[in-house]
């Protein structure tokens, strides 16, 4: 059932799919909501985790610093204590970022094992 103000979806002009809100059918409304959420999340992450420097780093590096891909890029902190410094942020592709974090986790795990082993010997 469409509202009196709208006879059809203002985006796709359909009258078959039920009216949702703001003159849009359910399909178009859901699509617009997902897009807006994705944009606001990126802006929020930029401010919270990178002190507004995320987009500057992506523009500075333009590609993954490990494999040179220029798509699917993320920003990585070299040191989490210095979050707001541009020199502490680097651009990586999602794949290299995951590999790097897995490597760092393994390194910490083995350091802990070695510490425990050395403590038992004493």
Q: Which residues contact 22 (CB under 8 A, 6 or more apart)?
A: 29
How far is the C-alpha of 8 from the C-alpha of 25, rounded, in Å? 8
Q: What is the mean pLDDT of residues 4-28?
A: 71
pLDDT in tens, 56-101: 888 899 999 999 998 889 888 887 776 667 888 899 999 999 999 9
pTM over 0.75: no
Task: List the structure tokens of 71.
Answer: 């798509």
- Give domain limits for the chain: 1-50, 64-122
CA 85/CA 107 separation, integer angstroms: 25
């Amino acid at each position: 059932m469409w509202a009196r103000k709208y006879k059809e979806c203002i985006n796709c002009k359909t009258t078959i799919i039920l009216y949702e809100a703001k003159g849009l059918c359910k399909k178009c409304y859901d699509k617009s909501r997902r897009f807006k959420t994705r944009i606001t999340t990126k802006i929020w992450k930029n401010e919270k985790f990178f002190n507004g420097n995320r987009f500057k780093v992506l523009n500075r590096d333009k590609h993954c610093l490990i494999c040179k891909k220029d798509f699917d890029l993320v920003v990585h902190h070299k040191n989490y204590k210095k979050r707001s410094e541009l020199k502490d942020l680097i651009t990586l592709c999602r794949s290299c970022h995951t590999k790097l974090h897995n490597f760092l986790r393994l390194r910490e795990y083995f350091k802990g094992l070695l510490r425990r082993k050395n403590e038992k010997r004493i």
